[in-house]
Amino acid sequence: MKKMIAIVAGDPNSINSEIIAKAWKKIKVKKNLFLIGNYQLIKKQLNQIGMSIPLFKIDLIKHYKNDGRLYVLDVPFKFKSIFKNKSNDTKNYVLKSLDIAHNLAFKKKIRGFINAPIDKKIFNNKYLGVTEYLSKKNKKKNKEVMMIFNKELAVVPLTTHLEIKDVTGKIKPSLLKTKITTLHKSYKKLFNKKPKIVVLGLNPHNSENHSSSIENKIIKPVVNSLIKLDFNIKGPFPADTIFSNQKKFNYNVVVGMYHDQVLAPFKALYGYNAINITLGLKYIRISPDHGIARDIVGLNKANPISLINAINFLNKIND
């Protein structure tokens, strides 16, 4: 049997149980999939929205059987509400679930995992998000890469969930080179080909190419050094036009300097049809490319397409 894939149920105050159930009903390959989360909570949340899938609780993955049910590796959680639980209780539950998935993947008991959306507030500003939390556990701090992937295009922000005022100070030659090197190696391993990378500048119109700009002093020298290492890379390019010139430049990945510089145009183009892949870890970690959608929790209106894409991707790349 293929190695198992885990789905971490993620934030309990969310649409997660709904999108998991909807994805389960639609995916074709189910035999190597299981959940990490609280069995009773997931069951009650699905009952609340009138959905039913065959759930079965287990305490160890060795108890899994390929019998058409969705097994839930049960994580203790004394929930007081179906969809509204206190922050400390939620934090402990989510981190425990992530740690279980990390340990299983790190020990190669599973091929990788998908975590359903998580409210970043659980990290209390200690980590910027799940990407950074897992990079610390993998001892890969500042070497991890967030790649938002669609079969037509991928984007990578050099900095992730930073406030704009803090971005400039983080753009250093060492960080830029490390992140792009991780991207290059991981992309090649995943897809068996070198990525065609374009790098964006930070400022509007690349500061009109001033000699003292960050584009000329930091970004361009790094790009040139990577060209010498046989990377297929170009830049820096102005951010305002690059997404309308994909065919002209024939690239696979856009590397931007901050989160919304690449995520905003990407989501305008592809919507939910994308997944978030963390590169640089010792295993494959993926998540849907959206949040917990608190505004539609319990309304049975959530779109599962990003989770479906994540499951299909993780199955496909390990065949």
pLDDT of residue 141: 77
Q: Is the pLDDT of residue 1 over 50?
A: no
pTM value is: 0.88
Spatial distance between the Cα atoms of 274 and 313, rounded to a whole number of angstroms: 10
Spatial distance between the Cα atoms of 300 and 249, rounded to a whole number of angstroms: 42
227 vs 293 pLDDT, higher one: 227
Q: Is the pLDDT of residue 319 over 50?
A: no
Could you report the per-residue pLDDT of 30-40, keeping only the tens digit for each?
888 999 999 99
Spatial distance between the Cα atoms of 139 and 281, rounded to a whole number of angstroms: 9
pLDDT of residue 123: 87
Spatial distance between the Cα atoms of 60 and 105, rounded to a whole number of angstroms: 14
Spatial distance between the Cα atoms of 52 and 236, rounded to a whole number of angstroms: 51
265 vs 120 pLDDT, higher one: 265
Going from the N-terminus, what domains does the chain have, and what CATH number goes with each? 1-140+281-319 (3.40.718.10), 145-278 (3.40.718.10)
pLDDT interval class at 302 (50, 70, 90): very high
Task: Give the mean pLDDT of 304-313.
Answer: 92
Q: Is the pLDDT of residue 162 over 90?
A: no
Q: What is the mean pLDDT of the chain?
A: 90
Could you report the per-residue pLDDT of 192-251, keeping only the tens digit for each?
999 999 999 998 888 777 878 899 999 999 999 999 999 999 999 999 888 887 766 689
Q: Is the pLDDT of residue 159 over 50?
A: yes
Whether 150 and 265 have beta carbons less than 8 Å apart is answered as: no
Whole-number CA gyration radius for the chain: 20
Spatial distance between the Cα atoms of 88 and 300, rounded to a whole number of angstroms: 26
Task: Give the mean pLDDT of 163-182.
Answer: 94
Q: Which of 10-14, 29-33, 295-299 has the lowest mean pLDDT?
A: 29-33
Amino acid at position 25, single letter: K
